[in-house]
């Protein structure tokens, strides 16, 4: 099979590398991909993610067996609908189903209708009404822009002032553009976070092993929220019972709820969860693989990813098996990220004990240089989280990381 991946980050690098390892797969193309992917034999396609017509032409000309969509933006732009209308196989939710990520209010409706545990909330388009509600509820409280905001549209306000400031920025200063015209005000949930992803085909749900992201920029969960600074899997402090409850009451209920809603979901369903005293509760659904969760979850998959997706597309039962090994992935970001950051740094060469997944890199006259906020992720597997951490951090300490920064505590929560 020849396969096409849409996207260009570390997540897509991990997906493409894993797919290419399948004995069934001869070629993996990535649009647009990034030059770091070429090290792993992935072929780059210079067609933009939103140029559906040319992507469709490419898939037909190359005889692509099926296409996999990495990021949320093309899903919400209806790339799956367009490929299907052109008679092409593609794995991912259509535009209507991707709304589970594209609108927090849509997601909340699915949750409420299906008794899926989540924080209490209220949606507002009126600024004064939102302020009045926040004053009535008090802090801590969570303010979210309704639409997509690249992981930055959420304020966990520990004081009333912070909450009102966030409402002002979103609703009257339009900091996130149209995404903030509607806001969701949500109850603050206390507990440890984890990410539970699954392959979904209509009502059928095949869960993956869980992982934990680190959203804050700096050690000890300090600093601004980012797209994610590192992840690890498994997450031993989250009990198997907690995960089982989440699979039944959250993932399976969501898949069924989407069917009942007339928006059946096929693709990767991602539940961002908080393990509260009352069990798992949803903080968000995403309609795709997580980044950086994918870079630590897929290395633990011992069955064939290409076979799994091919089985799901053809209504066969997929075979999912996982290794007992632990995986740790640390993001190397450009100094300054998530605000304005440095560019143009050289890319370090890491030892062979680790895997490197590239994201914010570009080709500068034949040399790969840093160009984005999250530049790359260094991942390793070992018997324990501690041993995997050691491999990653010794690889990082052995190279020059001038112009970059990374968190030194990825995985540390599992020892507390």
Pair 19, 13: CB distance under 8 Å: no
The helix/strand/coil state of 344 is coil
Q: Site residues for ligand AMP, window 245-274 (CB under 6 A)?
A: 272
List interacting residues with ligand GLY (CB under 6 A): 151, 213, 228, 286, 290-291, 293
- The partner in contact with residue 268, picked from ligand GLY, ligand AMP, none with C-beta cut-offs of 5 to 8 angstroms by kind, is none
Q: Which is nearer to ligand GLY, 289 or 404 (CB)?
A: 289
Q: Minimum Å distance from CB 293 to ligand GLY?
A: 6
Instruction: Check binding of 196 to ligand AMP (CB under 6 A).
Output: no
Instruction: Check binding of 188 to ligand AMP (CB under 6 A).
Output: yes
Interacting stretch for ligand AMP, rule CB under 6 A, among 76-84, 85-93, 165-173, 187-195? Answer: 187-195
Q: DSSP letter at 187? A: E
Residue 357: beta bridge partners?
A: 377
- Measure the CA–CA gap between 311 and 313, rounded to whole angstroms: 5
Q: Site residues for ligand AMP, window 208-227 (CB under 6 A)?
A: 215, 225
Q: Which is nearer to ligand AMP, 36 or 272 (CB)?
A: 272
Which is nearest to 273 in space by CA: 235, 246, 306, 234?
Answer: 246
The torsion angles phi and psi of 189, rounded to 5 degrees, stand at -105, 130
Question: Which one among 98, 189, 198, 392 touches ligand AMP, defined by CB under 6 A?
Answer: 189
- The partner in contact with residue 283, picked from ligand AMP, ligand GLY, none with C-beta cut-offs of 5 to 8 angstroms by kind, is ligand AMP
Report strand pairing: 355-358 vs 266-276.
unpaired
Strand segments (E) across 168-314: 183-187, 192-201, 204-207, 212-213, 216-218, 222-225, 230-233, 266-276, 279-286
- The partner in contact with residue 142, picked from ligand AMP, ligand GLY, none with C-beta cut-offs of 5 to 8 angstroms by kind, is ligand AMP
- The partner in contact with residue 188, picked from ligand AMP, ligand GLY, none with C-beta cut-offs of 5 to 8 angstroms by kind, is ligand AMP
- The partner in contact with residue 228, picked from ligand AMP, ligand GLY, none with C-beta cut-offs of 5 to 8 angstroms by kind, is ligand GLY
- Measure the CA–CA gap between 187 and 138, rounded to whole angstroms: 10
Which is nearest to 285 in space by CA: 324, 258, 261, 319?
Answer: 258
Q: Which is nearer to ligand GLY, 59 or 274 (CB)?
A: 274
Q: Which is nearer to ligand AMP, 144 or 300 (CB)?
A: 144
Q: Which residue has the tokens 């990535």?
A: 30
- Measure the CA–CA gap between 318 and 310, rounded to whole angstroms: 8
Q: Site residues for ligand AMP, window 96-155 (CB under 6 A)?
A: 119, 142, 144, 151, 154
């Amino acid at each position: 099979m020849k396969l096409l991946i849409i996207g260009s980050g570390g997540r897509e690098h991990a997906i493409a590398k894993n797919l290419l390892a399948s004995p069934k797969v001869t070629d993996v193309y990535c649009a647009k991909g990034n030059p770091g992917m070429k090290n792993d034999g992935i072929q780059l396609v210079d067609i933009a993610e939103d140029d559906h017509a040319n992507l469709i032409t490419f898939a037909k000309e190359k005889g692509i067996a099926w296409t996999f969509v990495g990021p949320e933006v093309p899903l919400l732009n209806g790339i799956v609908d367009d490929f299907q209308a052109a008679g092409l196989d593609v794995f991912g939710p259509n535009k209507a189903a991707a709304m589970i990520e594209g609108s927090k209010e849509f997601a909340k409706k699915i949750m409420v209708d299906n008794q899926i545990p989540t924080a209490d909330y209220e949606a507002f388009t009126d600024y004064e009404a939102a302020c009045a509600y926040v004053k009535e509820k008090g802090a801590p409280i969570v303010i979210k822009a309704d639409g997509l905001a690249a992981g930055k549209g959420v304020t966990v306000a520990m004081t009333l002032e912070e909450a009102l400031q966030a409402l002002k920025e979103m609703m009257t200063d339009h900091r996130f553009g149209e995404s903030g015209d509607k806001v969701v005000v949500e109850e603050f949930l206390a507990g440890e976070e984890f990410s539970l992803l699954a392959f979904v085909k209509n009502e059928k749900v095949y869960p993956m092993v869980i992982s934990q992201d680190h959203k804050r920029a700096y050690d000890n969960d300090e600093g601004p929220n980012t797209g994610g600074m590192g992840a690890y899997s498994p997450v031993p402090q989250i009990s198997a019972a907690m995960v089982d409850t989440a699979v039944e009451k959250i993932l399976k209920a969501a898949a069924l709820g989407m069917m009942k809603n007339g928006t059946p979901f096929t693709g990767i369903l991602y539940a961002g969860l908080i393990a509260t005293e009352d069990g798992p509760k949803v903080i968000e659904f995403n309609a795709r693989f997580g980044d950086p969760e994918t870079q630590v979850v897929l290395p633990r998959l011992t069955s064939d990813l290409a076979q799994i997706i091919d089985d799901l597309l053809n209504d066969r039962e997929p075979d999912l098996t996982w290794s007992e090994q632990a995986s740790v992935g640390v993001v190397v970001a450009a100094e300054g990220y998530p605000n304005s950051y440095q560019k143009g740094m050289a890319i370090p060469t890491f030892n062979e004990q680790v895997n490197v997944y590239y994201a914010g890199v570009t080709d500068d006259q034949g040399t790969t240089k840093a160009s984005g906020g999250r530049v790359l992720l260094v991942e390793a597997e070992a018997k324990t989280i501690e041993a995997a951490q050691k491999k990653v951090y010794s690889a990082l300490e052995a190279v020059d990381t001038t112009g970059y920064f990374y968190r030194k505590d990825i995985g540390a929560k599992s020892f507390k």
